Chains A and B, each alone.
Chain A
């Protein structure tokens, strides 16, 4: 069932935790609420769950207003960051809890619990106690417990936050597969941008109680609408300047130290102050002598002030000669084409008009 947040907002005392938020999650899709702590994502989740009452606005599931329903009447499933398994019950009783509250008979409880445990690959663990299980296993029990009741909406609150990195990665795929298999409308809250990008159909970036940008992961990553989004999702090189002219999707931008051309999707008027963002992995690095100075080449010259090996790529830190700005470039081996600059070496950096984004104010 689809979930709609219709202008919900919330203040705690003088602090506006959530500005009026409109968000709709299509049936069966997964929306990731992403943002730093204090951005309002957890408040949003707690309002959906019914643990907090919104000051205004409605929470609709399948078109029905849930705002005044108690949490136990909302037909939701939730996975908490610390798993929140009942420590005084074994795995079977934990998973059966929701079914028993719904009045299922013994046979149905037994078969559905077995089915849910099989789905999370924990068959044979029914008699274990939560304290005897690893974090990853507890996480899967929590997941089984939340889906066994076939909830209308599944809420995931930093579900993988307590797991170590390798396990987290494999669980991301596993969770996503299960969510697709069950076609269950899901809201994922996370501060981990990689988790949101990996798992979500739509990413909603939040900051200071406001929804800044909503879109598919690659769209949000590649076309961030604001400096905050550009910097929160991965690393971005930000250049300031003025848009001097715009025509046919090409904007000429006068930056400090260079004239650049940037592609835009729609129309942009000339503005006195703009910021453009370029991802470090979109930067091209060459010998300094190779700059032609043609329009649209978007070249800068600088000096390597730091380089780090990061496995699949090399991260360069470069100081731009004309402005002193520090810029990052991540270059995979094939992108370096045999060019391996060392510390202190002069290089030229460039980016294509398509790889730069003009950020909104």
Chain B
């Protein structure tokens, strides 16, 4: 393909992706304009202040938990899809992706409606006599985690399914004949051979959860994460330099994840 064909896409990315990123990076290191000289104070504040460090930790921790739960839920689903679903596999894939097709606002409000003080879950628990006063689900981060897993688990399932599809069943048969039962065969053959899929899915979910904003804003129960903080810096504090610094940190985290993912995929290519 002639190099010229990539020009439209290249120009588009330059104008709407690279230029804003460059400006953002510029704002964060020249807080007082280029004439004011380089100042890394925004970054210093982010990494030195225990509050901001805590927010960074919470952001990464929340994403980690969401990714881990997605892996635990996603693996059995992927296994069922690849090994047992047969001709229903396409239908299952569609059902899995369906949540992604609804608007994020709708989905998030849906969770609020379900989990609020006067919501469906509380009403149900009360009518069943399990509780006598409503539980404040939305006061903590767990509804946000549930909502993140809800929307991100398809990425996990699809990436595990792809790697599970590539596992030669005869390897499992060989393992069985060598004296390994079903569980040992899964733990020593199937799971290790699909760890790259789990890793890819994990990184994907982790990355997407890191950047999620609306879910945390509406369901976070007061949990502070970087995207929320960036929003505040822009809208309330109007400290563009600090907001820029935080978004750059988030960006670097995402790039690191992508690099890790690329490594995982390359390794699979060598081994297979």
Contacts and interface: CB of A to CB of B under 8 A. Distances in A.
Interface of A: 49-51, 70-78, 80, 82, 84, 86-88, 97-98, 101-102, 131, 145-146, 149, 155
Contacts of B271: 87-88, 131
**Residue from the set A50, A87, A131, A145 with the largest chain B CB neighbour count within 10 Å:** A87
A97 B175 contact: yes
A72 B170 contact: no
A231 B267 CA distance: 49
A86 B193 CA distance: 9
B36 interface: no
Contact of A87 (B173, B184, B193): B193
Interface in B182-198: 184-185, 188-189, 192-193
B179 A82 contact: no
Contacts of A50: 176
Contact of B178 (A87, A97, A131): A97
Contact of B177 (A78, A87, A88, A102): A78
9 contacts: A71-B176, A72-B178, A73-B179, A82-B170, A86-B189, A87-B272, A97-B175, A97-B178, A98-B178
Nearest to B188: A97
A74 B270 CA distance: 34
A88 B270 CA distance: 11
Contacts of A149: 178-179
Given A84-B171, A101-B184, A71 B270 contact: no
B129 to A, nearest CB: 47
A312 B35 CA distance: 91
Contacts of A51: 173, 176
B100 interface: no
Nearest to A103: B179
Given A82-B168, A88-B192, A77 B272 contact: no
A130 to B, nearest CB: 9
Interface string B235-267: 000000000000000000000000000000000
